[in-house]
Amino acid sequence: MPPEHLRRNMPEPLSADNPPTLEARFDGPLHRPDDAECGFEIEPAFQRFNACNDTFARAQWDETVRSEKALDWFRSMFTHGLGVRKTEGYRTKDFAMRNAAWVGANLLIERRLKDERHDGFLDDLAPYAPPAPTREPVDDPAEMAAELKQAARIFGADLIGITSTDLRWHYTKRFNARTRAEKENVDCEALPHCIVIGTEMPGKVIQTMPSALGGTAAGYGYSKDGLTLMSLAQFIRNLGYNAVASLNDTAQCVPYAIQAGLGEYGRHGLVITPEFGPRLRFGKIFTDLPLAHDRPKTFGVKEFCDLCRKCSDACPPKAIPDGPPDGAYHNASNFVGIRKWNVDGEKCFRFWANQGTECGICIRVCPYNKLPETTLGRVYFRLWKRLAGGPFRRMALWLDNALGYGRRYKPDWWWKNRPGW
């Protein structure tokens, strides 16, 4: 019998013999005036990225990444008992928390599953309603940006920044999990502004990483981010403008968050913000609503990471580089032509699959991930950041180690002592 895709007139699934399409050359501008301020080093060999090549997509079509354990990681979100064991942090109540935290994100995905879409992860968040037929005039883009930021706070954003749309970060194609084939990405060329929002993830559960309990942070972040993006995008549409809301889909969050002035790039491949360190999730909205842009900001992270190796030392599968940024190409899940610290996504995801839940040790141990709860704690964090951002950064690193920051909390301690956020 012919294969399913021929019988049903579907595109051919991706495989080693039918790999994702690579764009020969990016024909847009390779550089942008704020690249140096952002610390971006783009090389002539730069190629845009095809989302079918990210590790999560490859775990579904690429036999070198796909395994029963990897598939169980996806299934465990929806299957009672899958992954549950006697080990502390992986018991029924830990998975019950983690999977409950995903409910908001799952509802967004399920809205359009019938159309072979995974909104928020593989596809943009389909609009709740179309734009109003008439446009509210905007005389002052700076004032409009300030109003939009105010609205975003109400809808749940903890951080928000605005930059211009940069097609270098947009996926060339996206992945269809139903057919396992590639498909077209949404076109954002006519939407010149990119709003980036950040959602703080709960700190105390992250301190229990690695654990299923710790996975609660990611689920919570995606659920809240998704709803915030849906509401803010609808606010823009209600003013008569277009808005494409995107969580993990459509484009890279990391460079956009840096360009929008939310933080700096860290050795662990994540954005470090002054407020929450790397402990947050990002989403973005592409729009034609006239908006003033923010500037990138630096506070000494690159220089501090040059010294510190807490994340690369702590990462169990050694997926984080411990040398200088070199743009190393570990496998098809890395960008080509950007000189930066590159994480090995295959090693990282294999560790997740082996332990049955996501990891985030690199967030837990990062000295910028602090959760000050007292006035003294807040003053210390402010002074520590000053120290870390200047010539005494070595002392800041020593202090962080000496005071025992980044240690793992036992998941059972979390359940017994209920330390809250």
61 binds ligand SF4 (CB under 6 A): no
Q: Give Cβ neighbours of residue 281 (< 8 Å, ≥ 6 apart).
A: 198, 199, 201, 218, 221, 222, 225
Residue 288 CA: distances (Å) to CA of 88, 164, 184, 189, 392: 49, 10, 21, 10, 44
188 binds ligand B12 (CB under 6 A): no
Residue 421 CA: distances (Å) to CA of 203, 207, 211: 6, 11, 16
User: Given phi > 0 = left and psi -120 to 50 = alpha, else beta, which region is 349?
Assistant: alpha
Q: Which CB sits closer to ligand SF4, 148 or 359?
A: 359
Contact between 337 and 42 (Cβ < 8 Å): yes
DSSP count for the chain of H helices, then E strands: 17, 10
Residue 324 DSSP symbol: S
Contact residue for ligand B12 among 268, 293, 364, 393 (CB under 6 A): 268
310 interface partner picked from ligand B12, ligand SF4, none, CB below 5 to 8 A per type:
ligand SF4
Q: How far apart are CA 406 and CA 367, in angstroms?
A: 7
| 82-85 contacts at long range (C-beta below 8 A, 24 or more positions apart) | 82/356, 83/212, 83/356, 83/357, 85/356
Contact residue for ligand SF4 among 360, 370, 384, 396 (CB under 6 A): 360
348 binds ligand B12 (CB under 6 A): yes
Least distance from ligand SF4 to the Cβ atom of residue 103, Å: 23
271 binds ligand B12 (CB under 6 A): yes
What residue has token string 């909104």?
119
270 binds ligand B12 (CB under 6 A): yes
User: Per residue in 12-43, is it b (16+ CB within 10 Å) or e — as a string?
Assistant: ebbeeeeebeeeeeeeeeeebebbeebbbebe
223 binds ligand B12 (CB under 6 A): no
Least distance from ligand B12 to the Cβ atom of residue 172, Å: 11
304 interface partner picked from ligand SF4, ligand B12, none, CB below 5 to 8 A per type:
ligand SF4
Of how many residues is the chain composed?
421
- The footprint of ligand B12 on residues 247-266 (CB under 6 A) is 247-248, 252-255, 265
- The footprint of ligand SF4 on residues 268-297 (CB under 6 A) is 268
349 binds ligand B12 (CB under 6 A): yes
3-state SS assignment for residue 398: helix
363 binds ligand B12 (CB under 6 A): yes
Contact residue for ligand SF4 among 144, 332, 361, 371 (CB under 6 A): 361
Least distance from ligand SF4 to the Cβ atom of residue 344, Å: 8
Contact residue for ligand SF4 among 84, 311, 353, 396 (CB under 6 A): 311
Contact residue for ligand B12 among 241, 335, 405, 414 (CB under 6 A): 335
Residues at the site binding ligand SF4, with contacts judged by CB under 6 A: 266-268, 304-305, 308-311, 315-317, 319-320, 343, 348, 351, 359-362, 365-368
